[in-house]
Amino acid sequence: MDHSPILIIGQNGKTGRRVDERLQALGYSTRGVSRSTSPSFDWKRPETWRIALEGTRSAYVIYQPDLAVPNAASDIKAFVETAREVGLEHIVLLSGRGEAGAQRAEEIVKSCGLSWNILRTSWFCQNFSESFMLDGILAGELVLPAGDTLEPFIDVDDIADVATATLTEPSLRNRLFEITGPRAMSFAQCMSEISAALGRPVRYTQVSVDTYIDALEEQGMPDEMQWLLRELFTEVLDGRNSQVTSGVQEVLGRPATDFKTYVQKVIESGVWKAKALQKSA
């Protein structure tokens, strides 16, 4: 086993934290970095990249806020040049389906001269429990600018398992894996299944994307995140990415986790307890 630490960029993210835990459980040394770690890593401060990379041989790369943003490809290009200079050998890039910016970043990684893996994923199940949709579920109504488009939501635990495999199994290198959940569902269908499992109603309300973004602006969300969410709901979530893929099966030899299983895990964790119940617990 190579004792050089595996670099995890985005240690505190949904997938980064899980990948770090899995690698350490398998006995691998890791170096998880973010803006708050020492050494730190900040995509907006290229001077932090080299010291974070030095001494590592493999890296799990999560770009913040998203590969869809306009400057992502140029940042990834500069990053892989630095990585090559310090002796990195293998990059695993977390990417997204249906994003032109993400595909530009993928091509840069694939042609950079290092061994690589691309993990091109669908929307995360955990957006309902660990991200911007959680408050709506706790309040009993999820409001989004999404209609009947189907999305094969992927459990982040599956992503972490696939990432861990690609970081540790050389036979998987230099391949792109498109990884989705096993079922394509609309947001309304997701709310129906969550409601049934919780035993209380969680409504789904569709609004226009302008109404949604205006509300985010009133709440003080940064312009960059407003742009990103508009891009995701108008460009990415347009039906092009509804197809279920077999990436999880290809890497792990098992089916992807079903949405019902994800829902049950979250219920057991207590994250979706109504606010009134949380305060009295």
pLDDT of residue 1: 52
Say whether pLDDT at 275 is over 80.
no
Instruction: Let me know the angle formed at the C-alpha of 237 by 259 and 120, rounded to the nearest 5 degrees.
Output: 70
3-state secondary structure of 95: strand
In tens, the pLDDT along 241-269 reads 999 999 999 999 999 999 999 999 999 99
Q: What angle do CA 80, 171, 77 make, to 5 degrees?
A: 10
187 found inside a domain: no
Please check whether residue 34 lies inside any domain of the structure: yes
In-domain check, residue 193: no
pLDDT digits (tens, 9 = 90+) for 83-116: 999 999 999 999 999 888 999 999 999 999 999 9
**Residue 280 has what pLDDT?**
38
Residue 170 is predicted with a pLDDT of: 97
Q: What is the pLDDT of residue 95?
A: 97
Q: Beta-carbon neighbour count of residue 79 at 10 Å? A: 26
| Domain assignment present for 203 | no
| Domain membership flag for residue 116 | yes
Enumerate the H helices of the chain as residue ranges. 14-25, 49-53, 72-86, 100-110, 134-139, 156-168, 187-198, 209-218, 223-231, 247-252, 259-269, 275-280
Domain extent, residue 35, equals 6-122+155-180+243-257
**pLDDT of 117 above 50:** yes
pTM of the predicted structure, to 2 decimals: 0.94
16: domain CATH number? Answer: 3.40.50.720
**Dihedral (Cα; 77, 80, 85, 91), 10-degree rounding:** -170
Question: Which of 139-153, 197-211, 228-242 shows the lowest per-residue confidence on average (mean pLDDT)?
Answer: 228-242
Instruction: Note the pLDDT tens digit of each residue in 159-193.
Output: 999 999 999 999 999 999 999 999 999 999 999 99
For residue 215, being part of any structural domain is answered with no
What pLDDT sits at residue 235? 80
Average pLDDT (268-277) is 77
Express each pLDDT in 18-60 by its tens digit.
Answer: 999 999 999 999 999 999 999 999 999 999 999 999 999 999 9
Whether 209 is covered by a domain: the verdict is no
Q: How many domains does the chain have?
A: 1
Instruction: Indicate whether 281 pLDDT > 50.
Output: no
In a domain, 273, yes or no: no
What average pLDDT score do residues 136-154 get? 95
